[in-house]
Amino acid sequence: MKISLNWLKEYIDLPKGVTPQELALKLTMATVEVEEVIEQRAAFANMVVAEIMEIVDHPQADRLKVCKVKAGKEIYQVVCGGNNVYKGMKGVLALPGATVKWHGQGEPVKLEKATIRGIESFGMLCGAQEIGAGYELSPAGGVIDLPGAKAGQSAADILGQNDVIFDVDNKSITHRPDLWGHYGIAREVAAIYGLKFKDLKLAKFKEGNAVDLKINIEDTQNCSRYLGLAMSGIVIEPSPVWMQRLLIAVGTRPINNLVDITNFVMLELGRPSHAFDRRDVTGDAIIVRRAAKGEKFTTLDGQERSLTEQMCLVCDAARPVDLAGIMGGQNSEIKNDTTQIILELANFNPVNIRKTAQQLNLRTEAATRFEKSLAPDLAELGLKRIVTLIQQLIPEAKVASKMVDVNLDKQEDRLIELNLEFLNKRVGQDIPKKEVVAILERLLFLVKDKGETLLVTPPSFRVAKDISIPEDLVEEVARIYGYDNISPRLPRADLLLPEDNINLLVAKKTKDLLAQALGSTEVYNYSFVGPAAASPLGLKLTDHYEVANFLTEEQRYLRTSLFENLFKNLQSNSRFYQTINIFELGRVYTKHEGGFAAQPSQKSFLGKQEQMLAGLVAEARNQKVFLKAKGMVETSLDYLEVDYNYHVSDKAPAYVKSDRYLEIKVADQVLGWVGELQDNLCQQLDAHSQVAVWELHFELLVKFFQDNKKYHALPKYPGMAYDFSVLVDEQANWAKIRQAVLEASPLIKKVELFDTFTLEKLGPDKTSLAFHVYLADESRTLTSAEGDGLRDKIIDLLKHKFKAEVR
Amino acid sequence: MELDLKKLKDQAMAEFKKSKTLADLDKLETKYLGRKGELSAILRKVKDLTGEAKPKIGQLANQIKLELEKIVAELRHEFGHLADKAKPAHYLDITLPGQKPALGHLHPITIITRQLEEVFVKMGFMVLEGPELESEYYNFESLNIPATHPARDIQDTFYIKDQPGWLLRTQTSNQQVRTMEKYGAPLRAIFPGRVFRCEATDVRHETTFYQLEGLMIDKDISIAHLVTALKVMLKGIFKKDVKVRLRPGYFPFVEPGFEVDVSCLLCDGEGCGLCKKTGWVEMIGAGLVHPKVLQAGGLDPKIWSGFAFGMGINRLVMLKYGIDDIRLFMSGDLRFLEQF
C-alpha cells in the first residue's frame, strides 16, 4: 500500500526536522514495515520549465517542429512533435539525463542528446503522460502548456510533485484493518511522536424526504449492516487538482469527482463504499441476497461473471446491481450525466468476501479491505465523510433521502484487565505506570487506573480481530515504548542435558560414511511424484496419496518409494556423468495407519510416512555394479554394528532383476535389500550403464544400530594362511563354498575371497576363485602337519562337493 | 673386556665401510648390532661384572653402540640415494595428479542444518523431527489459526484428496503443540524440517523448502529474553557478533510477534543490494508464545510462558554459498551437489 506524506499532513503536523526516512524507520520499528521511501521529485530530475522562443518546421519531417527554447539563461534546440506548440508557450523541458516514458507507454528510458532526422535535439518537450504528471495538463497529441509558469523553474515544483510516498508491506498490516488508510497511519504516527491528531472534517447535513429508500437484508449471514443514502443535484466533472494529485501519488487514477471521492475515502479511512446511479436502481429498493447457482452478473469492468450460491449480491427491486463488497455492476454505474445517486456503506462478511474474490479472481482494493474485518461503526463515519466531500466539491448537491441504516451488528464492549506486573514480566523490564498509561492513551485506548491493574477499553477501530487479551496490550505498550529500549537479559533455565535424538545420530553417521568414505552424493528430492515417475517402477497410482490441489501433473501424488525420483535423478544426470552414486534419506507416504496422531487424545492417526534410506550406483561397463552396491551396504551396516544376514528372496520389486536381488534381514525383520535394475528400465532412463540399487528402512536401521564394540585380545599364537585357487562352475555359489570351508574345522577363522575371474580358455561357464584361509588356535601354535592336513581336507571337500578343479 | 670391545669396534667399522649395498649393510647390522649380535653378547656379560669395572665397561659399550649406529645410519642414507640413481627405469612423474579416492557430497541443506543444530544443542535445546503429512489441527488450529484464516486457503496449503483435515505441513511450527504434549514444561527444543507451500516455483519460490523452528518454555519468559537468545544463537550461526533489531510482525501463534532483522552480512549494515540499501536483512519470525497455543499444549499460561522463532534454512544456505536459484536444492543435479 502506498502512503502519501502530504496526505498524512492533512491530519498531523510532524515535528520540525523529521525527515521522511526517519518517519519511515519509526513506522517500521513501531507499526508497519515501510519497504521503500519514494521522493516524487526524483522522477522530475533534469526537468525544467522552458519558454518557446522560436519555431521552424523540421526540414525532413512534416509532423516535427524545431524549437529554440529558453530555460533560465540557457537556450536549447529541441525537436518536438507536439501539435499544440506556439511561440511564447511554456512547457516542461526534459534535458538529457531525465527519465521519461515515450508517448506515455512502455518502460521509462533515460534521455540522451539525440539527432532526429538530421537535426540535433537537446532533450524534449514533454506530454503529461510522458512524465506521469496530471493528465489534464496536456491535450491529446500535445505537450504540457503551463501559462502561469516561469522559464527556468523546476518542473517538480510547478507540477506540485513534492510529495514523498511510503511503500508499506501489505503483509505487515493484515491484522490491522485500521491501517489500510491514511487516517489510520496518521493516527499511529501521532501516537509514536505524541502529536496532536486533527479531527476529520465532517459537515452536518439535513436528511431529505424526496426519495423513499427501502433497504432489506435477506442474506444476514453475509451482510450485517447496510447504510444507504440518496443524493440529488450531482454534477459529474473532474475532481479538483489537490484531490487528483493525492490519488495519483498513491497510484489511483482519477476518473471523475464522484468516483474519486469514494476512492479518496477508501484510501483515507480504509472504508470502501459504492455509489449507484439512482436512475438504475429500480424502485429505490436495495435487497441484499445470496446469488443463485450459476447466476450471471456483469461487473463494472465489463466482465460477465458466473456466480455460486455462496456469493452475495446487492439487488434493486428487479435485478442485481452490485457484487457485494467487491465490485459494482455495469448496469448501475455512475455516468457523465448522472444527477442522482444512492450511496452504499455496508458491512459484509470478511470470509465470504475473501472466498468470492478468490473464486472470481477479482481481488479489488475494496475486497482487500473488507476481508481484513473492518470496524463496524466505520460505515457511518465513511458515509458522513463522503457526503461532506460531495457537498464540498459539488455545492449544488443535496441529501434527498433519510439516512437509512439497517444494522444487525452487535455492539461489543471490550474491557481488558492489564496487570502491571504481568506486563513488566512479559516485557522483561519495568516500564513506569505513568508511561504505560500515556502510551495506551496516545493509541486512543481508554484507561482506568485500578492500582496494580489497568482497566483498558480499546478504541472501536481496534476491536475487530485485533485487541482482545492482555498479551495484545503488552505488544501495544512495548512497540511504542520501543523494542530497542528493552535491555537484553539472559533467560534462566535449569541445567538439563538435552535428550539425544538417536535418529539424527544414526542419520549423521550413515550420511557421513556414504558421502565421505563411500563416494556417494546426497540428493534431496520432492515428496511429490507424477504418473510418469511411478509407472516405470510398476507402482500403482491408487496406492499413492493424491494432492487435492496439485499444481502440476508431476507433483500430483506423494511418493511411495524414494526410487520414483531417484530414477529421475539417474536420467537427468546421465547426460553429464558416466558414473553416478547417489543416495537420499527421506519420507515415503503409504496408505497405512502411521504413528502420528491427527488430534490429541483421539484414536485417529495420520498416514504412514516412513523414513527410508535408498541409493543407486550406476557405472558404465561394470558388470559387477551389484557387488559394489552390496559392498557399500555391507560397510555401512558393519559401521553401524548391525547384526544382519542376506536372504535370497523372490520378492524383488518389478524394476529389479529377480536373479540379482538380495534381502537384508535382522532376525526375522527385513531391513532392506540390494538389487540390480532391469536392463529395459536402464534404457528407458537413458542410463548407458549398469545400475545397482539399495534400500534400507531407516527406522529399523536406527533400531538395530549398536554402539557396543568390545575389545578382543590379540592372538597370542601365530596363525597360518593358505591360498587356494579353484576353477568351479559359474553357477557355484561362493556363500556355500565359504560356509563349507569354514565348517571344515573350528581352527578355520576366516575365509577371504581375493580374486575372481572368468576366461574363455579356462573352459565355458567356468569361474576361477582365489581365496585365503586363515587357521589359528587361541591356546597354542599350530604345527605345519596340522595345517597341511587341513589344506588337503579342504581340497578334497572342494573337489567332491563343488566339483572344483584345484589349481 | 675393554680390549675385546675396542677390537670389536674397529673390526665392525672396517666391515661397515667396506659394504657396497643396502643388503650388505643389513647383514652387518644384524651381525654386530642385532639382538643376537656380537655387541649384544658383550653387553649381556656386563651385568655379571662387579666393582668399578661395571659402570666403566657399560659406558664404553654403550658409546661404541651409538657410534656404530651412527655410521650405519649414515651409510644407509648414502645407499638410499645411490639406489635412487641406480633405477632410472622407475621414473615417476610426480607432477601427475594424485590418486584421489572418490568423495561423495552432503547436500548443502544437510551441512547448514547440522551447523544450526550444533549451536542449539550447545544451548541445551533438543532437536526433534515430526510428521510432514500433518493434520489441520497441529498445523493450524492448535496454533490459533482459525478455519477462516487466509493461511488455510488452498492457495497456500497442499491438502490431501479424500483425507479431510490432512495436509502437507506449511511450517515447522506444527511441532510446537506436539512437543508440549509430549515433554511438558520447561522445554527447549528446535524442529528443523521440510515444509510445503502451494505456490508456483521460480528462482525465489519453491513448493518444498526447509525451516527451523525453535521453542523455549519456562517461567516468566520475556521479550528481553527472546532478544538475548536470538543474539546468542545468531552469533553461534555467523561466528561473529551481529546486530539484531526487532520490529512488529504478525503471526497468529505469538503475541507479541516480531520480525527479526539482522545487520546485513554482506555490507555490515552499510547498505547494499542484498539488504535493499537498508543495512538489514529480514531473517527470523519470532514472538512470545500465544496463551491459546500454550493451552492447546496442555500448559497453564498463568504459570508458563515462552518464546518461539522460525527461520528459513534455504535462504541461509543461499546467502552462505551465493546460490541464486532456490530450485537447485531439489533438482538432484550432481553438477550442483558436487560443489559442496
Cβ(A338)–Cβ(A318) under 8 Å? no
- In this predicted model, which residue has the larger pLDDT, A274 or A245? A274
Contacts of A566 in chain B (CB under 8 A): 332
Alpha-carbon distance B88 to nearest alpha carbon in chain A (angstroms): 32
Inform me whether the C-beta atom of residue A575 falls under 8 Å from chain B C-beta atoms. Answer: no
CATH for A522: 3.30.930.10
**Rounded-to-10 torsion of CA A231, A233, A234, A240:** -120
Cβ(B195)–Cβ(B209) under 8 Å? yes
Contacts of B135 in chain A (CB under 8 A): 598-599, 606
Task: Tell me which chain B residue has its CA closest to the CA of residue A480.
Answer: B248
CATH for A124: 2.40.50.140
User: B186 vs A493: CB contact, 8 Å cut-off?
Assistant: yes
CATH for A463: 3.30.56.10
Average pLDDT value for residue range A462-467: 86
Contacts of B145 in chain A (CB under 8 A): none
Residues A427, A333 share a domain: no
Residues A781, A648 share a domain: no
**How many other β-carbons are positioned within 10 Å of the β-carbon of residue A354?**
22
Q: How far apart are CA B5 and CA A43, in angstroms?
A: 104
> Could you state, in order of their start, the residue ranges of all structural domains in chain B?
2-90, 108-337
Mutate one of A526, A552, A571, A699 to test the B interface: name it (highest B CB count within 10 A): A526
Confidence of residue A2 (pLDDT cuts 50, 70, 90): very high
**How many other β-carbons are positioned within 10 Å of the β-carbon of residue A493?**
17
A242: enclosing H helix or E strand: helix A241-249
CATH for A320: 3.50.40.10
Average pLDDT value for residue range B284-290: 96
Reply yes or no on whether the pLDDT at A73 is more than 90. no
Alpha-carbon distance B256 to nearest alpha carbon in chain A (angstroms): 5
Nearest-CB residue to A496 (from B124, B129, B220): B124
Contacts of A499 in chain B (CB under 8 A): 126
Exposed e or buried b for every residue in A2-16, given b needs 16+ CB within 10 A? Answer: bbbbbbbebbbebee
Given this structure, which CATH class describes domain B108-337?
alpha beta
Most confident of A76-80, A702-706, B39-43: A702-706
pLDDT over 70 percentage in chain B: 97
Contacts of A525 in chain B (CB under 8 A): 330, 332
Closest CA to A121 of A90, A77, A57: A77
CATH for A768: 3.30.70.380
User: B104 vs A501: CB contact, 8 Å cut-off?
Assistant: no
Condensed to tens digits (0 to 9), the pLDDT of residues A580-629 reads: 999 999 999 999 999 999 999 778 999 999 999 999 999 988 888 999 99
Task: Tell me which chain A residue has its CA closest to the CA of residue B180.
Answer: A600
pLDDT over 90 percentage in chain B: 53
Q: How far is CA B312 from CA A567, A584, B214, in A?
A: 28, 21, 12
Domain annotation covers residue A206: no
Inform me whether the C-beta atom of residue A596 falls under 8 Å from chain B C-beta atoms. Answer: yes
Domain annotation covers residue A136: yes
Q: What is the predicted pLDDT for the residue at A131?
A: 86
Residues A399, A295 share a domain: yes
User: B168 vs A497: CB contact, 8 Å cut-off?
Assistant: no
Average pLDDT value for residue range A405-422: 91
Contacts of B126 in chain A (CB under 8 A): 498-499, 501
Closest CA to B331 of B174, B108, B37: B108
Q: How far apart are the first and last CA of chain A?
A: 88
B69 three-class SS = helix
As given in the structure block, the three cell numbers for residue A263 are 476512492
Question: In terms of C-beta density within 10 A (0-12 exposed, 13-18 middle, 19 or more buried), how is residue A683 classed?
Answer: exposed
Q: What is the predicted pLDDT for the residue at B81?
A: 62
Residues A444, A401 share a domain: no
**Pairing, β B187-196 against β B126-127:** parallel
Q: What is the predicted pLDDT for the residue at B85?
A: 56
Task: Tell me which chain A residue has its CA closest to the CA of residue B183.
Answer: A499
Contacts of B218 in chain A (CB under 8 A): 491-493
pLDDT over 70 percentage in chain A: 100
Q: How far apart are CA A527 and CA A590, in angstroms?
A: 12
As given in the structure block, the three cell numbers for residue B146 are 482459525
Q: How far is CA A446 from CA A459, A575, B249, in A?
A: 7, 71, 24
User: B133 vs A486: CB contact, 8 Å cut-off?
Assistant: no
Q: Which residues contact A744 (CB under 8 A, 6 or more apart)?
A: A790, A793, A794, A797
Q: What is the predicted pLDDT for the residue at A135?
A: 64
Q: How far is CA A202 from CA A199, A205, A385, B103, B278, in A?
A: 9, 9, 6, 76, 40
Nearest-CB residue to B154 (from A427, A549, A587): A549
Q: How far apart are CA B134 and CA A606, in angstroms?
A: 7
Q: Which residues contact B337 (CB under 8 A, 6 or more apart)?
A: A521, A522, A523, B105, B107, B108
A550 three-class SS = coil
Condensed to tens digits (0 to 9), the pLDDT of residues A513-522 reads: 999 999 999 9
Q: What is the predicted pLDDT for the residue at A134?
A: 67
- In this predicted model, which residue has the larger pLDDT, A28 or B79? A28
As given in the structure block, the three cell numbers for residue A279 are 436512475
B114 three-class SS = helix
Nearest-CB residue to B165 (from A551, A568, A598): A598
Inform me whether the C-beta atom of residue A510 falls under 8 Å from chain B C-beta atoms. Answer: no
> Any idea which of A216-220, A736-740, B93-97 has the lowest mean pLDDT?
B93-97
Reply yes or no on whether the pLDDT at A729 is more than 90. no
- Name the residue range of residue A755's domain: 720-806
User: A358 vs B160: CB contact, 8 Å cut-off?
Assistant: no
Nearest-CB residue to B247 (from A33, A351, A490): A33
Q: Taking the alpha carbons of A246, A251, A255, A258 in that order, is the dihedral positive or negative?
A: negative
Q: What is the predicted pLDDT for the residue at A284?
A: 95
Inform me whether the C-beta atom of residue A481 falls under 8 Å from chain B C-beta atoms. Answer: no
Residues A795, A690 share a domain: no
Domain annotation covers residue A674: yes
Task: Tell me which chain A residue has its CA closest to the CA of residue B114.
Answer: A508
Reply yes or no on whether the pLDDT at B84 is more than 70. no
Condensed to tens digits (0 to 9), the pLDDT of residues B152-189 reads: 876 789 999 999 999 999 999 999 999 999 999 999 99
Contacts of B148 in chain A (CB under 8 A): 350-351
Domain annotation covers residue A365: yes
Average pLDDT value for residue range A256-277: 96
User: B129 vs A501: CB contact, 8 Å cut-off?
Assistant: yes
Condensed to tens digits (0 to 9), the pLDDT of residues A757-786 reads: 877 777 778 888 999 999 999 899 999 899
Mutate one of B217, B226, B234, B255 to test the A interface: name it (highest A CB count within 10 A): B255
Mutate one of A27, A430, A523 to test the B interface: name it (highest B CB count within 10 A): A523
Cβ(A656)–Cβ(A676) under 8 Å? yes
Cβ(B94)–Cβ(B130) under 8 Å? no
Confidence of residue A171 (pLDDT cuts 50, 70, 90): confident
Confidence of residue B242 (pLDDT cuts 50, 70, 90): confident
The secondary structure of residue A527, as a DSSP letter, is S
The secondary structure of residue A624, as a DSSP letter, is T
Phi, psi torsion values for A562, nearest 5 degrees: -65, -25
User: A429 vs B222: CB contact, 8 Å cut-off?
Assistant: yes
Cβ(B42)–Cβ(B58) under 8 Å? no
Residue A649 amino acid letter: S
Residue A691 amino acid letter: V
Domain annotation covers residue A102: yes
Q: How far apart are CA A144 and CA A47, in angstroms?
A: 12
Chain A residues 340-379 with a CB less than 8 Å from chain B: 350-351, 354, 358, 371
Mutate one of A185, A417, A431, A471 to test the B interface: name it (highest B CB count within 10 A): A471
Nearest-CB residue to B245 (from A484, A497, A545): A484
Domain annotation covers residue A479: yes
Residues A367, A331 share a domain: yes
B138 three-class SS = helix
Inform me whether the C-beta atom of residue A477 falls under 8 Å from chain B C-beta atoms. Answer: no
Q: Which residues contact B81 (CB under 8 A, 6 or more apart)?
A: none
Condensed to tens digits (0 to 9), the pLDDT of residues A515-568 reads: 999 999 999 999 999 999 998 899 999 999 999 999 999 999 999 999 999 999
Rg (CA), chain B: 37
Cβ(B5)–Cβ(B43) under 8 Å? no
Task: Tell me which chain B residue has its CA closest to the CA of residue A350.
Answer: B148
Confidence of residue A196 (pLDDT cuts 50, 70, 90): very high
Q: How far apart are CA A436 and CA A439, in angstroms?
A: 5
Which residues are registered as beta bridge partners of A168? A34
Alpha-carbon distance B161 to nearest alpha carbon in chain A (angstroms): 4
Helices (H), A394-462: 420-427, 433-442
Domain annotation covers residue A587: yes
Q: What is the predicted pLDDT for the residue at B86?
A: 53
Reply yes or no on whether the pLDDT at B222 is more than 70. yes
A736: enclosing H helix or E strand: helix A734-743
Reply yes or no on whether the pLDDT at B119 is more than 80. yes
Long-range contacts of B11-18, Cβ-Cβ distance < 8 Å, separation of 24 or more: B12/B38, B12/B39, B12/B68, B13/B68, B13/B71, B16/B68, B16/B71, B16/B72, B16/B75, B17/B71, B17/B75
Cβ(A410)–Cβ(B207) under 8 Å? no
Nearest-CB residue to A28 (from B104, B148, B247): B247
Question: Between vectors from CA A645 to CA A639 and to CA A649, what angle results, nearest 5°?
Answer: 130
Reply yes or no on whether the pLDDT at B195 is more than 60. yes
Cβ(A360)–Cβ(A329) under 8 Å? no
Contacts of A519 in chain B (CB under 8 A): 101-104
Confidence of residue B82 (pLDDT cuts 50, 70, 90): low
Inform me whether the C-beta atom of residue A554 falls under 8 Å from chain B C-beta atoms. Answer: no
Q: What ipTM score was computed for the predicted complex, to two decimals?
A: 0.86
Contacts of A523 in chain B (CB under 8 A): 107, 332, 337
Residues A306, A327 share a domain: yes
Alpha-carbon distance A469 to nearest alpha carbon in chain B (angstroms): 9
Q: Taking the alpha carbons of B157, B158, B164, B165 in that order, is the dihedral positive or negative?
A: negative
Cβ(A663)–Cβ(A646) under 8 Å? yes
pLDDT over 90 percentage in chain A: 76
List the strands of the sheet with B280-289, edge to edge: B126-127, B187-196, B208-218, B305-312, B280-289, B254-263, B244-248
Report the 3 state secondary structure along B199-213: CCCCCCCCCEEEEEE
Q: In chain B, what is the greatest distance between 2 CA atoms, to the nearest angstrom?
A: 109
Length of chain B equals 340
Q: Taking the alpha carbons of A136, A137, A142, A148 in that order, is the dihedral positive or negative?
A: positive
Across all residues in chain A, what is the average pLDDT? Answer: 93
Residues A764, A666 share a domain: no
Nearest-CB residue to B158 (from A547, A565, A600): A547
A vs B: CB pairs below 8 A = 244
Contacts of A569 in chain B (CB under 8 A): 332
Nearest-CB residue to B104 (from A36, A516, A589): A516
Contacts of A498 in chain B (CB under 8 A): 121, 124-127, 188-189
Q: How far is CA B184 from CA A162, A552, B137, B189, in A?
A: 58, 41, 19, 11
Contacts of A501 in chain B (CB under 8 A): 126-129
Condensed to tens digits (0 to 9), the pLDDT of residues B18-31 reads: 887 777 888 888 88
Domain annotation covers residue A164: no
Task: Tell me which chain A residue has its CA closest to the CA of residue B147.
Answer: A351
Among residues A435, A455, A485, which one ends one of the domains? A485
Phi, psi torsion values for A780, nearest 5 degrees: -165, 170
Cβ(A298)–Cβ(A305) under 8 Å? yes
Domains of chain A: total:
6
Inform me whether the C-beta atom of residue A502 falls under 8 Å from chain B C-beta atoms. Answer: no
Residues A115, A222 share a domain: no
Phi, psi torsion values for A508, nearest 5 degrees: -65, -50
Cβ(B193)–Cβ(B132) under 8 Å? yes
A227: enclosing H helix or E strand: strand A223-232
Phi, psi torsion values for A323, nearest 5 degrees: -85, 105
Closest CA to A525 of A566, A574, A573: A566
